[in-house]
Amino acid sequence: MEIKKTLLEKISQAKKLIREQADKYNGRYSIAFSGGKDSTVLLNLCLQAGVDYRIDAVLSNYEFNETHRFMNEIENRYNVTINRHFYLDDPSKPEEAGRKNKVEKFKEVMADVDCWFSGIRRDEGATRTDIKDVEELDGLVKVNPIADFCEIDIWRYLAIYRVPVNEAYKGGYRSLSCKLSSKPEESGDESERDGRWKGVYGSCGGECGIHSQSLRK
């Protein structure tokens, strides 16, 4: 029987992976930050790991006001700069929000790096169960330091280390992105990402494409 890791073991493993990959790519990497709970834990772990970093946020013109305020709060509290990159969404064409506009903007942002750090996890939904700690596609490496964390690990980390949280979660969201791609929880039987891209990309939250497509042009 597999022995499950404790939260402290997962934290230690995540920091070790972050330091190893940061040293390997020597500044040619980006930390992706969305303002959601998972990317907030990722960013905090990177800060705790003591690595140099570039923080990039790829944002829709339909972001929550709370997300903009939260990013300002993070910058002020941790004395960091979040590079904001905006793409335009059309509410009448939600299917283009991620699989076209967001992906294309991500490609632009990642054009000058060899590696990026992502805050995705294996237990978020059916589309992410097979992710690896380190992945590579068309020459761009993606590192997933919190892949082993579960949803309650994320909230425990935020509480224990007193990390700020985006107040948009007060609206009942479990998985948070922009207004067009996020819906509050409607049933206790839903999985964590069921509210993402609801009615657009099918069940289980779907994927916009930044974690499933090549980000190299």
Report the top-level CATH class of 7-171: alpha beta
The share of the chain scoring above pLDDT 90, in percent, equals: 63
The residue extents of the domains of the chain are 7-171
pLDDT band with cut points at 50, 70 and 90 for residue 73: very high
Over residues 122-167, the pLDDT tens digits come to: 998 776 778 999 999 889 999 999 999 999 999 999 999 999 999 9
Q: What does pTM read for this prediction?
A: 0.91
The letter for the amino acid at 17 is L
Say how far apart CA 33 and CA 117 lie, in whole Å: 9
pLDDT band with cut points at 50, 70 and 90 for residue 208: low
Strands of the 134-137 sheet, one edge to the other: 82-87, 55-60, 29-32, 115-117, 140-143, 134-137
Over residues 167-180, the pLDDT tens digits come to: 999 999 999 988 88
State yes or no: pLDDT of 211 exceeds 80: no
- Taking the CA of residue 216 as centre, how many other CA atoms within 13 Å lie in the half-sphere pointing to its CB? 10
State yes or no: pLDDT of 205 exceeds 60: no
Q: Of 49-58, 158-167, 170-179, 200-209, which one has max mean pLDDT?
A: 158-167
pLDDT of residue 203: 45
Quote the mean pLDDT of the chain: 88
State yes or no: pLDDT of 80 exceeds 60: yes
Residue 59 in 3-state DSSP?
A: strand
Over residues 17-48, the pLDDT tens digits come to: 999 999 999 889 999 999 999 999 999 999 99
pLDDT band with cut points at 50, 70 and 90 for residue 214: low
Contact 58, 87 (CB under 8 A): yes
